[in-house]
Structure 1
Amino acid sequence: MTRPARPAAPATRPGFVWALPAAVFFLLFAFVPLALVAVLSFTSWDGIGEPHFNGLDNWTSLFDDPVMLQSVWTTLLLTALGVAVQTPVSILIGVWAAGHQRNRAVLSAIYFVPLLLSATAVSVVWRAVLDPNFGVPAQLTWLFGDGNLLGTKGGAIAVLTFVGVWQYTPLHALLYQGGARAIPQVLYQAAAIDGAGRVRQFFHITLPQLRNTIITSVILMVVGGLTTFDTVLILTQGGPGTDTTVTAYYMYQKAFKGFEFGPGSAVALVLVVVATLISLVLVRLSGYDRMRGTTEGM
């Protein structure tokens, strides 16, 4: 006589103890510094001596500052351009890299080289390449005119967008490569039997299956675009004039060049709030939170 099989034990979620190390790390290196910045935003402090509480003076002067408002719009513009260019390019490269083409692995490895470089090194290289006296524009005056691409607002914005796309597109292409490889091949086989070509398969199978990856990638692009600093510091230094002064660079100017840590902290706090709100709006509009709740309830 066989013994009846025991019922499977119900799956339990890990307890809070498992999340304790990450929670402590976040508390010490994210929440506490953010709280200190919030406190400093209501003070007047030059980095030496005691901070002096000045109420809402930093905030009122901040929103009356035309450079601050311009920096917010410039940051949003660069972020929007980065997302608009990087997303389609990253998807195409990532889906291609997930295939089995000849020499695919070698070409993918070469293309992903920018991921190994720091933003500072990339900016230094491109500043040398685009030098109006000795760089490529100086040799191709028929294409670049006087060669001073960074001397105009349009040229500087275009260069910053291009350099950001050149460096960070491989990262997002890597995300899409992983997402494309996780798509069940049976979907493509069924579509091929029904007579769907590659283009139709891409729009009706690949893109819908990459929805979560697209959401993640766009959020990373937005947060990265809003916190752009190294590239602006090395390539344009906020110029010409203040045309490419992004919010992170403006915070650096206020706090670490002007020794106004109170207003600089207010700028930093605005940047954190804007980045958080935009990320939450993207998640909400994409329906990712509702979709996740439905999946967990199944």
Structure 2
Amino acid sequence: MTNASGTGVGRPGFAWAAPAAVFFALFAILPLLMVFVLAFTNWNGLGSPQFAGLDNWKKLLDDPVMLNSLWLSLLLTVLGVVVQTPISMLLGVWAAGHQRNRAILSAIYFVPLLLSITAVSVLWRAVLDPNFGVPSQAKWLFGDGNLLGVQSGAIGVLVFVSTWQFTPLHTLLYQGAARAIPQVLYQAAQIDGAGTVQQFFHITLPQLRNSIITSVILMVVGGLTTFDTVLILTQGGPGTDTTISAYYMYQKAFKSFDFGTGSAIALLLVLVASVVSLVMVRLSGYDKMRSTMEGV
């Protein structure tokens, strides 16, 4: 590669990546190694951790709450993907167009993305309060109004709140990908007589494949590590009906002061999220497609 003056220009050296690498090592790799060590110890936060071998892992396997929390985490993750993916995809494709007032409507729609998870959870907890919120004024629709008092209602609220806040993020991904699709493909399709629906399924959807993979992986990782929303909206209730793994980790570590078991749960979540993400990439064929493109 040469620059305008004709002199050779090499690739950037490792020094350019050093600050990011150091930051990642200090705030990601090092804490993960510490969690890995603590997962095999007994420690209440005071004194020195005592090596416990596989005791923490054995306790988790025999803990019905832990097994149920894994199921709930997977359920919320799947529901989030199923609900958010079509909504964000359609909105992203629409936002990539040139409709009248599109920019203004898109800016308004992206407002939830600017709010913190805590603020959003507090807002919806107040809105859905059975005594003073919307359900108390529309009992014909919400019954007794206590949506968070039953498992189905609580799970529905968690999925709705997550969708309301995070769909704009995935919409941005699809919007950028949709704008990158060559317009000549649509022009050729119009000449062949293809309608809007046919163009979407035969041009837009295939061209969004990589964005779909990226978006779903982000949803899966985010769903498995959801914590703030559950803490503020349901606190794992009613009973343990919404006690997902991330919240159960918090209960074990910071309420029961069992940091060994809490670290084991955290490590398990990292492993599950990593395995699921790798399997999705593998099954999608994204890695093979990338290798083929790099070889061209």
Does the pair score TM above 0.5? yes
**Paired amino acid for 1:296:** E
**Paired amino acid for 2:96:** A
Task: Confirm or deny that 1:283 pairs with 2:288.
Answer: no
Separation (CA, whole Å) in 1 of partners of 2:104 and 2:23: 38
**1:157-188, Cα deviation, whole Å (9 max, x unpaired):** 00000000000001100110000000011110
Aligned equivalent of 2:47: 49
**Distance apart, 1:12 and its partner CA:** 6.0
Count of residues paired in the alignment: 291
Which of 105, 108, 111 is matched with 2:106 structurally?
108
**Paired amino acid for 2:280:** L
**Distance apart, 1:9 and its partner CA:** 9.3
**1:32-60, Cα deviation, whole Å (9 max, x unpaired):** 11011010011111111111111111110
Which of 176, 191, 194 is matched with 2:192 structurally?
194
Q: 3-state SS of the aligned residue for 1:242?
A: coil
Structure 2 unaligned residues grouped into runs of 5+: 1-5
Aligned equivalent of 2:172: 174
**1:117-176, Cα deviation, whole Å (9 max, x unpaired):** 001000000000000011111111111110000010100000000000000001100110
**Distance apart, 1:15 and its partner CA:** 3.9
Aligned equivalent of 2:140: 142
Aligned equivalent of 1:59: 57
**Paired amino acid for 1:25:** F
Q: 3-state SS of the aligned residue for 1:240?
A: coil
Task: Confirm or deny that 1:242 pairs with 2:237.
Answer: no
Separation (CA, whole Å) in 1 of partners of 2:213 and 2:8: 32
Separation (CA, whole Å) in 2 of partners of 1:96 and 1:281: 30
1:56–1:280 CA distance, 2 compared to 1 (3 A)? same
Task: Confirm or deny that 1:265 pairs with 2:260.
Answer: no
**Distance apart, 1:271 and its partner CA:** 0.5
Aligned equivalent of 2:3: none
Aligned equivalent of 2:129: 131
What RMSD, in angstroms, separates the aligned Cα atoms of the two structures?
1.3
Separation (CA, whole Å) in 1 of partners of 2:206 and 2:9: 30
Separation (CA, whole Å) in 1 of partners of 2:58 and 2:8: 56
Q: 3-state SS of the aligned residue for 1:25?
A: helix
Aligned equivalent of 2:230: 232
**Paired amino acid for 2:248:** Y
Separation (CA, whole Å) in 1 of partners of 2:26 and 2:156: 38
Separation (CA, whole Å) in 1 of partners of 2:82 and 2:65: 25
Q: 3-state SS of the aligned residue for 2:135?
A: helix
**Distance apart, 1:23 and its partner CA:** 2.1
1:201–1:10 CA distance, 2 compared to 1 (3 A)? farther
**Distance apart, 1:68 and its partner CA:** 0.4
Which of 204, 207, 211 is matched with 2:205 structurally?
207
Aligned equivalent of 2:36: 38
**1:15-35, Cα deviation, whole Å (9 max, x unpaired):** 433333222222111111101
1:226–1:37 CA distance, 2 compared to 1 (3 A)? same
1:272–1:112 CA distance, 2 compared to 1 (3 A)? same
Structure 1 unaligned residues grouped into runs of 5+: 1-7
**Paired amino acid for 1:179:** A
Separation (CA, whole Å) in 2 of partners of 1:21 and 1:293: 28
Q: 3-state SS of the aligned residue for 2:16?
A: helix
Separation (CA, whole Å) in 2 of partners of 1:296 and 1:243: 47
Task: Confirm or deny that 1:185 pairs with 2:170.
Answer: no
